[in-house]
Amino acid sequence: MSSTPSLDKGVRRRAQFSPELRELVKEAIQTEEAVLGKEKTRTSRLLNVLETIVWLAVAVSVFFYFEVRHTILFDERIDNFYFRLGIAQLLVFALIGAYLVVYRSWIRGEDDWEQASPYLIPVGSACLIGGFLFSTIGLWPIWSYLTPLIVFILMMGTCMPFTVL
């Protein structure tokens, strides 16, 4: 399927903005950020704290209602291979997060993690997803269709407090 070169150039020309319009948009964005910067920061910080409190409350409620501690320690229906594999991947995710936040941000003062360690964020994401999936498979014999929801709530309740730091 080939298109004519003149049509492509015309479409590209129409999609480009004039330099005056670009400058006007940049000035408007800078003005808005200057006016709303402190208010946005305070509001977003407050919303983040409130969201964290809600996730913690829900996670604690689920933890006690479904007797997760007792289930993990004593229930023989758990598929131990998948559950331990999921826990190991979640521990790797936690170690990567601690390395990036504590060592890279707090100790060395670096904010750009992707430039300093470009492979850690994808590896950490893969470990989080794998940990969720394997933990769900390992606990499936106990809670069946509720297992993904329970594991998700517990993971969010565990991860959200670190966003407040």
Report d(CA 50, CA 38) in Å as an integer. Answer: 18
pTM attached to this predicted model: 0.72
Q: Which residues are CB-contacts of 78 (< 8 A; sequence separation ≥ 6)?
A: 71, 72, 138, 139, 141, 142
Residues making up the chain, counted from first to last: 165
What's the pLDDT at 41?
Answer: 75
pLDDT in tens, 47-105: 889 999 999 999 999 999 999 999 999 999 999 999 999 999 999 999 999 998 888 88
